[in-house]
Every structure is written in C-alpha cells, then in structure tokens.
C-alpha cells in the first residue's frame, strides 16, 4: 500500500513543470485544473463505491442450505426498489453535476476579454508557428516564429488560423487546446499570472513532424515585455564585422530570400519564419534544436537531418560561406 502511495506521489510531482496542465499558471488553466480534479474525484468515488458494493455482494455466506424463494415479500421488494431507484437517481445527479460544471467552466474560459494587452495572430503551418503582434500603427506590427511573449496579469487575445492542415494550439499551463481549422478563424483569450517560460505544442496530428511543432511562451513583467516588444520591432541589426557582412551577402545571394524575411533588407518573403531577430531565439526548427552555432550550421546545411519532412530544403553552401551566414544570423539579436 505504502509503495502505491509513493508511486502516486511520484506521478503527481512529475506532473508539475513547464508543459503540464496540472501546474496551472493562468486563470483559465486554473479553472480547467479544478474541473479536472472534480472529474477525478467523482470518478474515483464511483469506482470505489462500485468495488465496495461488488465486494459486499460476493462476500462468503453461511453454508446453511438456502431456502427457496419464489417471490420476495412486499417489504423486501419495496426496500430493493428503493435502493435501486436511489442509486439510479444518485448516478444521474452525479452525471448532471459533471455536465453542469463542464458547461460553467467552458463559459468561464470566455469571460476574459477587453481591454487586452495585445492582439496576436497565430498561424499554424507544417511544422512551425507564426505569431504576429497587431498594432494600430503598421510600423509597430511585429512578426516572430515559435516564440510568444506575454505580460503577466493581463489577458491577450489570440486569433488562430491555419495555412495548410488542422493544427491545435495548446499551452497546457495556460489554457486548453484550440483547433486551427483552415479557412476559419478561432479566437481565445490567454492570461498568464506567473512569470516563467512555458512550452506549447501542436496537439492535433498534422503530419510527419507534428511532434516537432512546438513553441515557447515567455510570461514576464510588463517592463520586460515592453522591452522585448521594442527590441523585436526594430529592423535587423546591421553587420558589424567583415564575416557578418559576408554572411549577409550570402543570405541575400542564396535561395534564403525566397522564403524568409529579414526586416531592413530586401528579403521579404513570407513562406518560412521571419528571421529578423533569429539570433535572440533560444530554439530553432520549432523546438527541434537549441539555437547554437553548430546546430544552426547543421540546420541550414541539411534541415532534413534534424527534422525529416521539413519544408526547408538542404543548402549545400561552401563551408566558409556557411560559417559566415551563421555568424550573420547569430548577430540578429
Ligand atoms: Cu501541427 Cu500537429
């Protein structure tokens, strides 16, 4: 028995962390978390009650020969009827309780609304996420990839779209799942109340690299969030060394410009992630690799090795050009 409780405790502690719906960090996730515990509690109670009744019914009886019963007397029959109907009524009441609390939680999830701290367009693609922070001034609109930043304690509005197949946006610590259906815009509100970096994950099978369709959500104090906005809105940094200048020329002269944007350069294509501040991101390939020089060089040379099926083709560049390109991209903080 002791071992059972220890195993359960171990299981529950492993449920906390940056990608767990059992460790809520926002008001909506807390509501879903409460609902989850209610469902677990009631299901556990029903399970134990059924086992107890089963055990009581199958207990060993005295070995005396049974007296044949043709028909139970009126009192016994009344008692049996009452027991069965109250058990039925109780089950129905429990089911309605679950239904009703589920309905209330669903409604409560939509109560967060204006004024929102930001309106963010989320676009799911095979297999990465584009995030566009809207602004009334077009020069303040910023686009990033696989990385969300939110101010703590204030709701943000997300509009979810897909450009290819059905994906599902899920940050377990902050909210439930929401599908991204091509041709349809879904909307949710998110609020993070505890500063940290959480993992998000595509939660609908969308092809070969579905598991590598991840993103991070950094919830931070308002000041840090504003600083991040300012840094991300700026055009890409100009190269400061010869090596970086060469890297920029490699980028602009190779096929990179056919898919990517680097603000402040002529590269303005929208097929792949915006790379204006790629050097500031901790991950590349939508969570497939950490953003180190070696990983970035390997990724550019052959993305198919780390993420087979990825839409990005291999780029067989001479090694001096590849290293210069990596230097340039890493300088784009
Ligand atoms: Cu996108 Cu799974």
Does residue 202's CB lie within 6 angstroms of at least one atom of ligand 1? Answer: yes
Does residue 151's CB lie within 6 angstroms of at least one atom of ligand 1? Answer: no
HSE of 306, CA atoms in CB hemisphere, 13 A: 25
Res 177: pLDDT: 93
pTM for the full predicted model = 0.86
Over residues 272-282, mean pLDDT:
95
CB environment 6-15: b (16+ within 10 A), e (fewer): eeeeeeeeee
CB environment 47-72: b (16+ within 10 A), e (fewer): eeeeeeeeeeeeeeeeeeeeeeeeee
Res 281: pLDDT: 95
Mean pLDDT lowest among 53-62, 166-175, 225-234: 53-62
Q: How far is the CA of 186 from the centre of ligand 1 (A)?
A: 16
For the cut 90, the answer to whether the pLDDT of residue 146 exceeds it is yes
Spell out where the chain has E strands. 119-125, 128-133, 142-145, 147-151, 156-162, 167-170, 178-180, 186-190, 196-202, 214-220, 283-284, 289-290
Does residue 210's CB lie within 6 angstroms of at least one atom of ligand 1? Answer: yes
Q: Give the position, in ligand 1's atom list, of the atom nearest the Cα of 204.
A: 2
Q: How far is the CA of 204 from the centre of ligand 1 (A)?
A: 5
Res 165: pLDDT: 96
Q: Which of 139, 147, 133, 125 is nearest to 275 (CA)?
A: 147
Res 85: pLDDT: 94
Q: How far is the CA of 8 from the centre of ligand 1 (A)?
A: 31
Q: What is the pLDDT of residues 106-136, one digit of tens each?
A: 888 887 776 888 999 999 999 999 999 999 9
Q: What is the mean pLDDT of the chain?
A: 91
The Cα 240–Cα 220 span in angstroms is 31
Helix, coil or strand: residue 148: strand
Query: Which tokens sit at 6?
Result: 């220890």
Q: Give the position, in ligand 1's atom list, of the atom nearest the Cα of 180.
A: 1
For the cut 60, the answer to whether the pLDDT of residue 13 exceeds it is no
Res 111: pLDDT: 79
Does residue 45's CB lie within 6 angstroms of at least one atom of ligand 1? Answer: no
Query: Which tokens sit at 15?
Result: 């449920």
């Amino acid at each position: 028995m002791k071992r059972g409780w220890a195993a359960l405790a171990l299981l529950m502690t492993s449920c906390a962390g940056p990608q767990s719906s059992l460790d809520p960090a926002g008001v909506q996730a807390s509501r879903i978390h409460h609902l989850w515990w209610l469902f677990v509690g009631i299901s556990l109670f029903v399970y134990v009650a059924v086992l107890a009744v089963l055990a009581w019914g199958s207990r060993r009886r005295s070995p005396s020969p049974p007296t044949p019963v043709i028909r139970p007397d009126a009192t016994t029959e009344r008692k049996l009827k009452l027991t069965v109907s109250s058990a039925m009524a109780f089950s129905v009441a429990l089911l309605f309780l679950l239904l009703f609390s589920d309905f209330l939680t669903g409604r409560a999830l939509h109560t967060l609304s204006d004024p929102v701290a930001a309106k963010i367009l989320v676009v799911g693609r095979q297999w990465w996420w584009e995030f566009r922070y809207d602004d009334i001034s077009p020069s303040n609109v910023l686009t990033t990839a696989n990385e969300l930043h939110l101010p703590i304690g204030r709701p943000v509005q997300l509009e979810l779209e897909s450009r290819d197949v059905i994906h599902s946006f899920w940050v377990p610590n902050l909210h439930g799942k929401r599908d991204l259906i091509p041709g349809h815009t879904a909307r949710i509100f998110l609020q993070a109340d505890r500063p940290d970096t959480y993992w998000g994950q595509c939660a609908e099978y969308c092809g070969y690299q579905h598991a590598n369709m991840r993103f991070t959500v950094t919830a931070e104090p308002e000041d840090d969030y504003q600083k991040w906005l300012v840094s991300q809105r700026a055009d890409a940094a100009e190269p400061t060394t010869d090596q970086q200048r060469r890297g920029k020329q490699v980028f602009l002269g190779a096929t990179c410009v056919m898919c990517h944007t680097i603000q402040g350069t002529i590269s303005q294509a929208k097929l792949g992630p915006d790379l204006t501040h790629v050097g500031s991101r901790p991950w590349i390939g939508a969570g497939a690799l950490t953003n180190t020089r070696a990983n970035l060089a390997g990724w550019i040379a052959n993305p198919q090795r780390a993420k087979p099926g990825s839409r990005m083709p291999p780029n067989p560049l001479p090694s001096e050009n590849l290293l210069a390109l990596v230097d340039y991209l890493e300088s784009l903080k």
